[in-house]
Every structure is written in C-alpha cells, then in structure tokens.
Structure 1
Amino acid sequence: MQTELRLLIDMTEAANDERMIKSAVLSFANAHGFERFAYLQTQGDDVQTFNSYPEEWQDIYLGSRYSIIDPVITEAKRRMNVFSWTVDDWPARGRSELRRFKDQAVAHGIRSGVTVPVEGSFGSKMMLTFASKERKADVSKLQDAQDAIQAVLVIHYRLKILAAVTIVSPKTMLSPREAMCLMWAMKGKNGPETAKITGIKPRTVQHYLDNARRKLGAQSVPHLVAIARDHGLV
C-alpha cells in the first residue's frame, strides 16, 4: 500500500492543471492538520511561488519582499533536511521589519509549520512548506525524507510542464484522484489492483473511473484509456 506522501506524488504527477495540483497538495495538508501550503523556488533574491495562502497575505509578502528576511527561507537555504518551525522561536527583539513580519504572519494564521528544502539547478533552492495556525506543527507525516523530496520535485516539474502547455479544456477537467485512477488504468491495472496500490476502496476507485468516463464521454474503461492517450490528458 502507498504511503500518504506517495499518494500525493501520484496525484500531482497525474494532474493536468494547476487547480488539480493545488487541490492534491491542500488535501494532503488539511489531512495532517495544516491549513495552508506554499511551494517556493528561490534564486538569489528572486522568488517564484505557488501556494494556498490568502491573496492579501501574498500581496503583503511579495510586496514587502519578506522572502529576504523570512526565517523559514533562511533556514531552508542552509540545510537539506525536513525541519519544523514556529514563529515563537523567531527573534522577539531586534529589527523592526522582522518583528512586523512575525506579527503579520500570525495575524494571517501562520504560526508554525514544516518545510522540505531541495537543492535546485543553477544555485536555486526549492522548498515546500505546510503551515498551521497552531503553536506547534506535527512533522511525523513528513519523516520519509526520500518521498518528501520527491514530492517537491514532482510539484516543481509538473508546474513547469503545465506552464508550457494547456493540456485539457475546463469542461473535461478531472479531479486529482480521478486522474490518478485513470493513470493506473492506463498502466494496465484493474480496479482491485488500483485499490490495493493506492489504499482506496475498490468501490471508490470505480466511482472515480465512472466520473472520469462521464466527463470524457467514454463508454468503458478501455474507451476512457484510449481517449486519455489520444488527447494526452495524463
């Protein structure tokens, strides 16, 4: 049976738009006690981000260039392992800008979290953060370093691919789990086999495949697979 991180990896790999990636990552975050997530890629002072934070906080963060002083990014740049953090450990005194950042983060429901840093190309750094409004975050579900790092890489490269091409029209968008079950069907797995691999109940797997068939106008699972291959949906 897959670990929960492996399930996230598969759903991200099967995603055919940014909405599906956001849904998959946010579902994983919510299931483990986190309200928000943020993927960031930094190169020098430049920051690219894909996240579920409120737009107001994104505007404040990017407009104030908080990435330069953000203690989480500073810590992620100097280490290569999963780590937890809390704003209570950030300096309470010192630079007024850092104090203001801390107060604004707490005001927007960001008090603790877990971050997975990964070394990128050309001196860049990628990181995936799950944030919580609680005082202390639970890092236990992200202890498998290899799967955690792979999750960051899959999100990174899937976003790059989707930025280059629009795969499917809005009318035929599949949910992350529908796309994942379709992916296993394309690999020749039947419903019970997919259920065993993913840890989803067989009836639920069939439900996701039925939904995908209706969305794509397929008469059967083989027909669904043929349509998906012809249109490059997954």
Structure 2
Amino acid sequence: MDEDFRSLIDMAEAARDERMIKKAVKSFAHACGFDYFAYLQTEGAEVKTFNSYPETWEGIYLARRYARIDPVVTEAKRRMDMFAWTSDDWPARGSSELRQFRDKAVEHGICSGVTIPVEGSYGSTMLLTLASSERKSEIPKLRDARKAMQGVMAVHYSLKIVGATTLVAPRQALSPREGRCLMWAMKGKSAPETAMLTGINARTVQHYLDSARRKFEAKTVPQLVAIAKDRGLY
C-alpha cells in the first residue's frame, strides 16, 4: 500500500494537466480495488468536483445539487476521518429525494466505497472517494489515515497548481512541492509539522518555502501566505 500512495503522490506532483492528474488517481483507485474515484471540494453552497464517474451521473449529481443531501458528504463532514460506506445503509423505501439519490447512484454503479475527508481553509472540505459497483463496506489496503490524507492533499495541490499556472507569470509559478509546502503554511503549520505531514525533511520544507517566497518577492513566510491568499491562488 505504501507503494501505491507513493506512486499517487509522485504522479500527481509530476502532472502537467488535469488529464495526467486524473490518470494518477484512477490508477490509484484501481490498485486499491475500486472502479471509480471522485475528488469533491465544498465551500458553503459551492461544489467543485473532479472524478472518473460516468458522465451521466456527474451531470445528474451537479444539476440536482445532490451534495446537499449526499450521505457520504454529510458523514465526511461530521467525522473528518477516513471511513467505509455502502448504499445498503441509505434509505431504501419511500419517495424522498434521498431515496431518489440512492436509486440513481446504484443505477450508475456507485454502490460502496471509502471516503477520505480533509479540512480545508475558509471552512471548505476536501473529499477523495474511491467507489465500487460491488456492495461491500470495508477498507481494503487503506489503513494509514495520515498517508491517505497526504494522497488527498497531493491531488488538491496538483489541481490548484495546474489551475493557477494561467493566473501567474511563468517566473512566479510554483513547483508542486513548493505548492504543497505553501498550502500547509496557509493552514498554520510550521516547517517541522509540514515535514511530518508530507514526509519531506524539515530543512527541505524550509527550502521550498524560501524558494516560493523569492518567486513572489515576499520577505517572510507570513507575507508569502498573505500574497497567495490575496491572489486567490490557493
């Protein structure tokens, strides 16, 4: 399992576009025994998604704003810890919107899975779900919550960096690891804390932060964080 997580992080960091990121996460999902993946970021009523689900299901999910009632999203926000789920736990009778959600999910092969939630900035929540068409409720291979969180953040950073490259001058564009270290700094983490969370040496973390600081002409890390927030890059 360590190799699968390492591969996910390495492939995400090396990705130059969303297609490469999707390939990395899809490969990780399949290595863990799942059919699909879905990265979901919620901030208030706003929902952003990046997934390998059938396009018809993605369209229905967004059009009907199912994130409001999705049992997986609700449970993820409540627990903020990795958990397994199955559609068998959702309402199977009645004509409620939740029942309709269940029926549509199962119809599109979303029957069980594992979800890894991570608290983001400004009250946002990031979720990485691995889903299967089989009805099961277990977490095969996935046991290390810290590594799971690293995987989610690697996907998040890569999507942010790919999306931000068109918003900043080339000389200001951050490398994937500079972006990862900056993101943890924005969450209030010190260099040693970031080192523990990312598996990067603390001195190397500081090196990446200093490099990012120079690119944005910031004198201190707090100033770097303020600039990044002001520009809406992260």
Counterpart secondary structure, 1:141? coil
After TM superposition, give the deviation of residue 39 of structure 1 in Å: 0.2
Question: Which residue is equivalent to 1:91?
Answer: 91
Letter of the 2:58 partner, please give it: Q
Q: How does 1:132-211 map to 2 (within 5 A)?
A: 132-165=132-165
Question: Which residue is equivalent to 2:23?
Answer: 23
Question: Which residue is equivalent to 1:70?
Answer: 70
| Distance in 2, Cα, partners of 1:98 & 1:2 | 36
Q: How many residues align?
A: 166
| Distance in 2, Cα, partners of 1:148 & 1:95 | 36
Question: Which residue is equivalent to 1:118?
Answer: 118
Question: Which residue is equivalent to 1:52?
Answer: 52
| Distance in 1, Cα, partners of 2:138 & 2:26 | 16
Question: Which residue is equivalent to 1:9?
Answer: 9
| Distance in 2, Cα, partners of 1:129 & 1:162 | 21
Question: Which residue is equivalent to 1:38?
Answer: 38
The 1:79/1:2 distance shift into structure 2, 3 A limit, reads closer
| Unmatched 5+ stretches in structure 1 | 167-234
Question: Which residue is equivalent to 1:202?
Answer: none
Aligned residues of 1:82 and 1:142 also touching (Cα < 8 A): no
Q: Deviations over 1:163-190 (max 9, x none)?
A: 1226xxxxxxxxxxxxxxxxxxxxxxxx
Aligned residues of 1:17 and 1:162 also touching (Cα < 8 A): yes
- Using the aligned pairs only, state the percent identity: 66
Q: CA RMSD in A?
A: 1.6
Aligned residues of 2:26 and 2:36 also touching (Cα < 8 A): yes
Give the TM-score normalised by the residue count of structure 1.
0.68
Counterpart secondary structure, 2:141? helix
After TM superposition, give the deviation of residue 130 of structure 1 in Å: 0.3
Letter of the 1:16 partner, please give it: R
| Distance in 2, Cα, partners of 1:136 & 1:2 | 23
| Distance in 2, Cα, partners of 1:16 & 1:137 | 35
Bigger CA radius of gyration: 1
Counterpart secondary structure, 2:40? strand
The 1:73/1:95 distance shift into structure 2, 3 A limit, reads farther
| Distance in 2, Cα, partners of 1:76 & 1:20 | 27
Letter of the 1:55 partner, please give it: E
Letter of the 1:101 partner, please give it: F
After TM superposition, give the deviation of residue 31 of structure 1 in Å: 2.0
After TM superposition, give the deviation of residue 25 of structure 1 in Å: 0.7
Higher relative contact order (CA 8 A, sep 6+): 1
| Distance in 1, Cα, partners of 2:9 & 2:19 | 15
Q: Deviations over 1:61-115 (max 9, x none)?
A: 0000100000000000011211000000112245611111100000000000000
